[in-house]
Amino acid sequence: MNARAAGGPRRRLVVLRHAKSAWPDRVPDHERPLATRGRLDAPAVGRALAEADLLPDLALCSTAVRARETWELAARQWGTPPPIRLDGRLYGAEVPELLEAVGEVPEHVRTLLLVGHNPGLEELVLELAGDGFDGTLGRVRTKFPTSAVAVLVWHGAAWHELGSGDALLTDVVVPRGKKE
């Protein structure tokens, strides 16, 4: 990790790629809903975040239907979901736009959930992670599938200070739901 990461409170950025989406005919990409598998996986994501004590103080979510549905189904697994900010910049965003949105998060937020899309999220994780535990970086480089969750930890006074190589990638999981 570089030197900037050493000071300030511990912060966690939890990056969630939306669950598996459907491809209905004549539906614009932004409006695509979750597929059946996505509707099973999204609640599993919520349960996994709760079990890992990774409930966010705030969620930033793409305005795309599949991202919003992922958020809603995951958040239903918690007693009281945190506030959410829907942000149109997150749809199709690349690393600079994602960092801009994250940089606007208030300082009091210690755990931030970012719900969006690939390839931007995968690239963001790889950009921010200066190091990783137990092969996590390699797993993200190989594939960051739908419903994947990456946990980045760093120390800083404000979210706008987070930059390239500042974070430690502590975990990557892909929760999957089971058919009932």
Average pLDDT of the segment spanning 138-149: 96
Q: Has residue 4 got a pLDDT over 50?
A: no
Q: Is the pTM higher than 0.85? A: yes
Q: Give CA–CA dist 18/16, Å, rounded.
A: 6
Average pLDDT over residues 160-178: 95
**Average pLDDT of the chain, as a whole number:** 94
Mean pLDDT of 54-76: 98
CA–CA separation, 138 vs 61, rounded Å?
A: 26
CA distance 63 to 87: 6
